[in-house]
Structure 1
């Protein structure tokens, strides 16, 4: 039985996101995506008339939406410290589940120097901005000023992205554990100044 066209498209985008996490944009070719997804070659040209750039862009958006959904779900729980702890736990699980090989697709494309680099950087910036806004809104709802909430939201995203890179380079989750503990304490004190 042949997969439905939408299944082929979805598999292709998911495969592109998975490969971006490990190999970056320059290491994620259409051939690798097809081999990983099992999708027929013609499906790429049918579903992604913009070619590889469109495919990578959609993979970044998909991965960004996934993490944004996790942030939003944690934010609905109401505890901003627990939400940020969960954000770090997500990356801990991603790293552990990939033998410290998988990073963030948005970070992977943000540092690219290919012909598609400017569009991919804009896509990554949109993803990071969405995550930052979600965290900032949560922090503001819990008493921080808009400026402080935005600053801490940006700091958390920057810390997570940086620490994921460090973990991959050092082949250890120790940097993530240290950053998570420091940011936990920072947020506890920022949200409860008397403690």
Structure 2
């Protein structure tokens, strides 16, 4: 059965997010999105009067919400170490399942020059800020000072994103596994040295 016409908007945004993570922003054209989604050409400017820039912007939001959901799911664990290990494992699974084709669509937008659509860089920055706040909250809940919580949150995001890029280039999970192990050890020491050891959870014997 063919997809309902009313689904075309959602399909186009999802396709754009998928193409961003696999091919980058420059290669995510309207034609490519239409071919991937199967949406009718006439739906483009009906649903996206702002054209390609609007479509990419909404795909960035969708992808940002998806990863935020992964962070939220990981941070439900009582043990902060377990939560971060789970977060890295989710990225590892995405890489392996996609045969190392799937990167981060937010990075795909952030690293490319978009002089004709500066809002894309702003949207990417907002997504990174949202992820950083979520991880900061996790560390604060586990008794780390606010300053260190914010620095660790930024470091985790930077480590994940950099490792994902390396994994795609090397077609292996070693960079991500190494980053996960180092951050695990870093958190062990950070939690051990926190001002009040009775706050939060997550230390290992």
Question: By percentage of residues, which structure has more helix?
Answer: 1
Q: What's the RMSD between the two structures over aligned residues?
A: 1.5
| Corresponding residue of 2:68 | 68
Cα pair 1:29 1:52 within 8 Å, conserved: yes
Other-structure match for 1:192: 192
TM-score by length of 1: 0.94
Q: Is the 8 A contact 1:110 1:117 kept in 2?
A: no
Alpha-carbon distance in 2 for matches of 1:145, 1:181: 22
Q: 1:164 & 1:82 partners in 2: Cα distance? A: 20
Match of 2:33 in 1: 33
How many residue pairs align between the two structures? 195
TM value normalised by structure 2:
0.90
Alignment of 1:1-195 (within 5 A): 3-116=3-116, 118-193=118-193
Which structure has the larger Rg over C-alpha atoms? Answer: 2
Contact 2:114/2:121 (8 A) holds in 1 = no
The separation in 2 between residues aligned to 1:53 and 1:111, in whole angstroms, is 16
> Aligned residue for 2:202?
none
Residue 5 of structure 1: CA displacement? 4.2
Structure 1's unaligned 5+ residue stretches are none
- Residues 40-92 of structure 1, C-alpha deviations (whole Å, 9 max, x = no match): 11111111111000100110110110110111122122322222112111111
